[in-house]
Amino acid sequence: MYLFLMRAVNLLFRVLSAMILVYCVLSWFVRPGSALYRVYCFLDELVEPLIYPFRKLTSGVAYSTGVDFAPWLTLIFFNVLQNAIYLVLRSIFL
């Protein structure tokens, strides 16, 4: 049971991280009407609610530098959250 939960948590956070990274890359290149625009819109609906709280925190930096750090902060937060979940699971099962 422990290994199953660990693998499930790992898979969840890997998928979320990959979606955020693909979303960021597509945001640089995809334009309305292109073949990947529908994929970008789909990812936007899934990923933007996860990034939005960090975007609110970093809005001043993004406006002054032109660089949006919210996706990277989201990935860091997911890494910390994943490690916290691992610790909780480990304390429960081991």
Percentage of the chain lying above the pLDDT 70 cut: 100
Residue 46 has pLDDT above 90, yes or no: yes
Token representation of residue 35: 């073949």
In total, how many domains does the chain have? 1
Per-residue pLDDT tens for 11-41?
A: 999 999 999 999 999 999 999 999 999 999 9
Percentage of the chain lying above the pLDDT 90 cut: 86
Question: Residue type at 20?
Answer: I
Question: Residue type at 88?
Answer: V
Strands (E), the chain: none
User: What pLDDT, on a 0 to 100 scale, did the predictor assign at position 29?
Assistant: 93
Show the domain range for 88.
2-93
